Amino acid sequence: MPGDSNPNLYRGRLAPSPTGLLHLGHARTFWTAAQRAADHHGQLILRNEDLDSQRCRPEYVEAMLEDLCWLGIDWVEGPDCGGPTGPYAQSERRTHYLEAWKKLRDLGLIYPCTCSRKDVAQSAGAPNDLDDEPVYPGKCRPPEERRSSAPPDRVEDPVPQGQNEPAGVN
């Protein structure tokens, strides 16, 4: 089943962050994800959310894998077993993210946000007619005519001169 290219195949995901030991809430969430994948005759994918370089530790990754196995949760792709859509440790995917960012920048589809944290929090909590998901109010989005013809350097490059990864991505 790994690498199955069926676009209708259910692919569930576990994405723990190895910043500490797993707790009961994690176990319940991961068990639910595993059951949902099994109920849909699908696959379960494990992704290691190791982007917090200050708090992520190798011993927590090992403990995470051991605990998930102890719970009886099986996955078909992950940092320990590989798979066709790896790498499965997010810290190893920075190149993919930077390439995607540059593509969006070159198309003029990204722009700087000047909102404060308070603005963002208020926007996320504002009522909307569609559903419970927050809706972006468009405050920082440039006018339509500027978006389609924006020069590639309109938004600051996240890779400062002489560095290899986006600034602020840990």
What confidence tens digit (pLDDT) does each residue in 1-35 have?
445 567 789 999 999 999 999 989 988 999 999 99
pLDDT > 90: percent of the chain = 54
Going from the N-terminus, what domains does the chain have, and what CATH number goes with each?
A: 11-91 (3.40.50.620), 103-154 (no CATH)
**How many other CB atoms are found less than 10 A from the CB of residue 137?**
13
**Cα 67 to Cα 74: distance, rounded to the nearest angstrom:** 11
What pLDDT, on the 0 to 100 scale, is given for residue 129?
A: 66
- Reduced to 3 DSSP states, what percent helix, strand and coil does the chain have, rounded to the nearest 5? 35, 10, 55
Residue 91 has pLDDT above 90, yes or no: yes
The span from the CA of 107 to the CA of 149, in Å, is 8
Distance CA 158, CA 168 (A): 8
Which of the two residues, 161 and 117, has the higher pLDDT score?
117
- Are residues 46 and 88 in contact, defined by beta-carbon separation less than 8 angstroms? yes
